[in-house]
Amino acid sequence: MAKTKELSKDTRNKIVDLHQVGKTESAIGKQLGLKKSTVGAIIRKWKTYKTTDNLPRSGAPRKISPRGVKMITRTVSKNPRTTRGDLVNDLQRAGTKVTKPTISNTLRRQGLKSCSARRVPLLKPVHVQARLKFAREHLDDPDEDWENVIWSDETKIELFGKNSTRRVWRTKNAELHPKNTIPTVKHGGGNIMLWGCFSAKGPGRLIRVKERMNGAMYREILSENLLPSARALKMKRGWVFQHDNDPKHTARATKEWLRKKHFKVLEWPSQSPDLNPIENLWRELKVRVAQRQPQNITALEEICMEENTSNSV
């Protein structure tokens, strides 16, 4: 927004003089080439304070000039991961010395807030197209179809600590813009690995994977836990199984095993863990585990199983 040019003292006094001789605000505005709202503001100020002089301003003057504000706003728009220290240095090189809190307050007034960058899958163009194709194909599917799906996945749960975060400057509701996110790959650390499944009726079995999982082990897990989960969840005939495109899941032997068992498998776009609703379940489990603060691996596993059992159907 352009800065409004300040009226001269003579013009402000002329407005008051015309008002005192009975002219309306509209008439004064037309005569002097001013907006009616500007004329009204000068007249109200004169009535209240009996002066047209500038009143003392409240608070300290802004340390960053409008030009400086534009510069740092443009900088964080191009690169949201710019730090406050970077901006302090930029302004100092331009001749303005400010502190980091001043940077925060200035950007906040521009609608920008420092937030933790969301972690999202690293997507290549082929992944984007596959996800779009999947969404279009299932756009009009009725709720009953999704209620007939058993969703599955593996996850790793850490015993201590949290993954490091990065902060970005962003506007409200822009948390998923690519510039404001951190691309991730699956299974980025942790202490125990779990396989689990669930449907709209509740969670199925939760299994700890104690060794490095391969195709044979994955098929064994499905053999021992998928059908019992489907029975416990009372899935309707023709229920659909979902798993992602991990090489263990898409191996020829696994596909053949699923075919012989007559399992219907939901076609799934690669690099799309965020589309799987089980991710919400994993997050809830991790929050509950963190609240109970397990002190060792045994306790970590026990708590995971207890939380899953307490929410089973």
Q: Assess whether 152 and 297 both reside in one domain.
A: yes
Q: Read off the pLDDT of residues 250-261 as tens digits, 9 standing for 90 and up.
A: 999 999 999 999
What does the pLDDT read at residue 58?
63
Q: Assess whether 196 and 278 both reside in one domain.
A: yes
Looking at the domain assignment, is residue 137 inside a domain?
A: no
Looking at the domain assignment, is residue 55 inside a domain?
A: no
The whole domain housing 258 covers 142-164+188-311
Looking at the domain assignment, is residue 123 inside a domain?
A: no
Q: Assess whether 95 and 197 both reside in one domain.
A: no
Which stretches of the chain score pLDDT less than 50? 1-2, 161-164, 185-189
Tell me the C-alpha distance between 196 and 308, whole Å: 9
Number of domains in the chain: 3
Q: Assess whether 210 and 146 both reside in one domain.
A: yes
Looking at the domain assignment, is residue 122 inside a domain?
A: no
Q: Read off the pLDDT of residues 115-170 as tens digits, 9 standing for 90 and up.
A: 888 777 777 888 889 899 999 999 999 999 999 999 999 999 987 644 445 677 88
Distance of CA 153 to the CA centre of its chain: 22
Looking at the domain assignment, is residue 299 inside a domain?
A: yes
Q: Assess whether 155 and 291 both reside in one domain.
A: yes
Q: Assess whether 149 and 238 both reside in one domain.
A: yes
Q: Assess whether 304 and 160 both reside in one domain.
A: yes
Q: Assess whether 30 and 92 both reside in one domain.
A: no
Looking at the domain assignment, is residue 116 inside a domain?
A: no
